[in-house]
Amino acid sequence: MKKLWLFWWMANIFWAVIFAVGTAFVWLREVDGAGVTQTFEGKLAAFIVLLIAFIFPLLIQVVWLMVNLVMNSNKKTKFHQE
């Protein structure tokens, strides 16, 4: 069980770092890949796209958290019954 929690935390740290790097990249760049100078609105639009892209991993992490919690509570319940 501890392995599942360890993997969950490692995955969360991975996604948090990737999100932070992506956010820094979006907000700190002056010119995008097409050579267009970035305005506040352009940076905000790119950040919103980044947020939308990270909704899917967030949902996976939440489901994984619920599975870990249910498995952990079932293990404790089974242990207390014996």
Tens-digit pLDDT profile for residues 60-75? 999 989 988 888 877 6
Contact at 8 Å (CB) between 3 and 77? no
Instruction: Provide Rg for the chain, Cα atoms.
Output: 19
The per-residue DSSP string of the chain comes to -HHHHHHHHHHHHHHHHHHHHHHHHHHH-SB-TTSPBPPHHHHHHHHHHHHHHTHHHHHHHHHHHHHHHHHHHHHHHHHHH-
Tens-digit pLDDT profile for residues 30-55? 988 888 899 999 999 999 999 999 99
pLDDT of residue 1: 62
Contact at 8 Å (CB) between 61 and 12? yes
Query: Residue 80 above 60 pLDDT?
Result: no
pLDDT of residue 34: 85
Q: Which comes out higher in pLDDT, residue 29 or 79?
A: 29
